[in-house]
Chain A
C-alpha cells in the first residue's frame, strides 16, 4: 500500500538555522511527491514538487528537497530559517495517473529568535 511518513510532528529551530523536515514514502510505482505548507487558518500552498525529472527540486521561499529512491525519502530543507517559515508542512504522494494525493501526518515547524 502507498503511504507517506513524516518523522517528527513538531520541529523547532532557531532563526537562521538549518531546517530539515523528513518525509519517507512507500509506493510500488514511481511516485510524484509534493511538499505543501499550511499557514494558520489558510489552505495549502505548494512549496515544490518532484515529477521524475531532476532529483533535487527547488521550490519557493528558499526551500528545496531531494528525491532519493534508494532511501525512499523526500526530505525538505532550507539553509536558514526565517520567522515567517513557522507553519505546518505536509509531504504528499501521488500515484501517476490517479490524481489522488496521499498526505503525511504533517510537521509543525516553530522558529524562535
Chain B
C-alpha cells in the first residue's frame, strides 16, 4: 500500500492569487494523479503527473491554469493559478504502486477562494 500526505489540508485564498498543493507518497509509485471534487459533486480527473515530463491533462483542464510538477517518483505538486471563487473545491492527489490494482488517495486539500 501507499500512504499519501497532502499539504496544506485547507486554505482560504484571495481571488487572483495562486496556491501550490504538495503531495508526498511514502513509497515509489508509477502513476500520480490530481483530482478535483467540487462541492457536493464527484471526482473529476485533472491530469496525470508524469515523472520527468509534462503532465497529461484531461479535457477542460489546461497547464496554464493547473501547472503540475513531478520531479521524482514520490512527490508532485499542483498549482491552482489566478484563482476565482469557481476554483473552490477539494483537490485530491492519488497514486498507483507498481504491484497494486488500486489507487490510493490523499486526504485532500479543501480550497476556498474569496
Residues of A participating in the B interface, judged by any CB pair closer than 8 Å: 32, 34, 36, 41-46, 49, 51, 90, 99-106
Contacts and interface: CB of A to CB of B under 8 A. Distances in A.
A43 B45 contact: no
17 contacts: A32-B101, A41-B110, A42-B108, A43-B4, A43-B106, A44-B43, A44-B92, A45-B105, A90-B43, A99-B30, A99-B96, A101-B43, A101-B103, A103-B44, A104-B42, A105-B42, A106-B41
B73 to A, nearest CB: 15
A99 B94 CA distance: 11
Q: Which 6 A-B pairs have the closest CB atoms?
A: A43-B105, A44-B105, A43-B107, A103-B43, A103-B42, A105-B42
- Chain B interface residue bracket vs A: 20 to 34
Nearest to A9: B40
Q: For A34, A36, A101, which residue has the most chain B Cβ atoms within 10 angstroms? A: A101
Interface in B71-114: 92, 94, 96, 101-108, 110
B33 A49 contact: no
Nearest to B107: A43
A95 to B, nearest CB: 12
B101 A101 contact: no
Contacts of B42: 90, 103-106
B45 A101 contact: yes
A44 B42 CA distance: 11
